[in-house]
C-alpha cells in the first residue's frame, strides 16, 4: 500500500472488487466491473466510496489512518465510530477540534455513512439492511487496510443513535469486538413503557414497527449478557434526555456482574457533549488496544 501521507494531491484509486481478498460477502462474481474509490482529502484522511450490496446503492465511509502510520506494518487496531441522527460520516472530521482528536489516535478509525438507519435491519423496510451494510463495510475495511482481525484490537463506538447502534452491534457480534463505548446513547430503546418526564424518545415506528416483542429484540438492554467479555465505556450527560436509559443500562450490567466504566459529563443531548467525550473514548480505546 502506498502511504497517503506521501501523496500531496487529491487522487482517486479505483480497485476492482473482484481483486480484493476477504469473504464472499464483498461482491458477487457477476459484478467484477464495480469499483471502489479511495479519495484522499488530507494526509491520513480518506473517503471510501463503494457499492453496498446489502443496501443496493453506493455508500461512503471516512477512514482516519493512525498517527504513526507507515507502510509495511500490519495488524493495526481499528475503531468503528457511528454517527447519530441528522449527522453523517464526516461530522467528526470536518470540525477542527474533533478532527484533531481523531488524528492523534494511533489506530485506524472508520466512520461509516449510516444515514437514518439506526444501524439495524429494519423489520418493516425490506431494503433497509443497515446492520448487514455495517458487516459489509467491516469486511471491506479488512480487505483494503492492514487492520487487525483480533477482537482485542477491534472496537466500536458511537453517539446518540450511533451509541445505540454500536452497543447493539457489539452484542450481536461479540466474537468480533472486544471493546464498545457509547456517548449519550439510547441504550434502553425502543421500549413500550415510558420513562420519567423528559427522559423519553419517540420511537420511529416506520422503522421499528409496533410489535413489543420486536422492540424487546431490538433493545440493547435485553442483550447485555452478550458483553460478558467485552470492555465497556458508557459516557452520559447529566441534563440529557437519555440519562435514565444509560443509568438503567449500567444497572443491568451491574446486575449481571459485568465490569464497565462510567463517565458523567455536564451538558445536554448535544454535539458539544460528543466533542468533549471523543478524547475520553479514544483514550479508553487506546488503553484497551494496548497502545
Rounded CA-CA distance 243/33 in Å is 48
Rounded CA-CA distance 110/138 in Å is 9
Q: What is the pLDDT of residues 254-283, one digit of tens each?
A: 999 999 999 999 999 999 999 999 999 999
pTM comes to 0.89
The secondary structure element, H or E, covering residue 237 is strand 231-237
Rounded CA-CA distance 118/129 in Å is 10
Per-10-residue mean pLDDT of the chain, 291 residues long, equals: 30 32 32 71 93 96 96 93 98 97 98 97 93 98 96 98 98 97 98 96 94 96 97 98 98 98 98 98 97 72
Rounded CA-CA distance 58/6 in Å is 28
Domains of the chain as residue ranges with CATH: 62-289 (3.40.50.1820)
Order across the sheet with 154-159: list the strands. Answer: 12-16, 35-42, 45-52, 57-64, 108-112, 78-82, 154-159, 179-183, 231-237, 261-265
Amino acid at each position: 500500500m502506498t502511504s497517503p501521507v506521501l501523496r500531496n494531491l487529491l487522487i482517486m484509486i479505483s480497485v476492482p472488487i473482484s481483486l480484493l481478498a476477504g469473504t464472499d460477502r464483498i461482491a458477487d462474481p457477476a459484478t467484477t466491473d464495480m469499483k471502489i474509490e479511495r479519495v484522499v482529502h488530507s494526509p491520513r484522511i480518506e473517503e471510501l466510496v463503494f457499492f453496498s450490496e446489502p443496501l443496493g446503492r453506493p455508500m461512503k465511509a471516512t477512514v482516519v489512518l493512525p498517527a504513526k502510520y507507515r507502510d509495511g506494518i500490519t495488524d493495526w487496531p481499528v475503531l468503528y465510530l457511528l454517527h447519530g441522527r441528522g449527522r453523517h460520516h464526516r461530522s467528526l472530521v470536518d470540525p477542527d477540534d474533533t478532527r484533531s482528536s481523531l488524528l492523534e489516535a494511533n489506530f485506524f478509525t472508520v466512520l461509516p455513512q449510516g444515514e437514518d438507519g439506526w444501524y439495524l435491519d429494519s423489520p418493516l423496510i425490506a431494503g433497509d439492511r443497515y446492520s448487514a451494510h455495517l458487516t459489509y463495510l467491516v469486511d471491506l475495511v479488512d480487505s483494503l487496510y492492514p487492520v487487525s482481525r483480533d477482537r482485542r484490537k477491534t472496537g466500536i463506538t458511537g453517539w446518540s443513535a450511533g451509541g445505540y447502534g454500536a452497543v447493539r452491534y457489539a452484542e450481536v457480534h461479540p466474537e468480533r469486538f472486544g471493546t464498545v463505548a457509547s456517548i449519550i446513547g439510547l441504550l434502553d430503546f425502543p421500549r413500550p413503557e415510558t420513562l420519567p418526564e423528559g427522559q423519553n424518545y419517540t420511537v420511529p415506528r416506520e422503522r421499528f414497527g409496533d410489535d413489543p416483542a420486536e422492540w424487546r429484540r431490538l433493545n440493547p438492554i435485553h442483550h447485555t449478557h452478550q458483553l460478558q467479555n467485552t470492555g465497556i465505556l458508557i459516557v452520559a450527560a447529566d441534563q440529557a434526555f437519555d440519562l435514565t436509559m444509560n443509568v438503567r443500562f449500567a444497572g443491568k450490567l451491574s446486575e449481571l456482574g459485568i465490569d464497565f466504566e462510567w463517565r458523567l459529563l455536564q451538558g445536554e443531548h448535544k454535539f458539544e457533549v460528543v466533542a468533549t467525550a471523543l478524547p475520553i473514548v479514544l483514550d479508553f480505546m487506546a488503553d484497551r488496544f494496548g497502545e
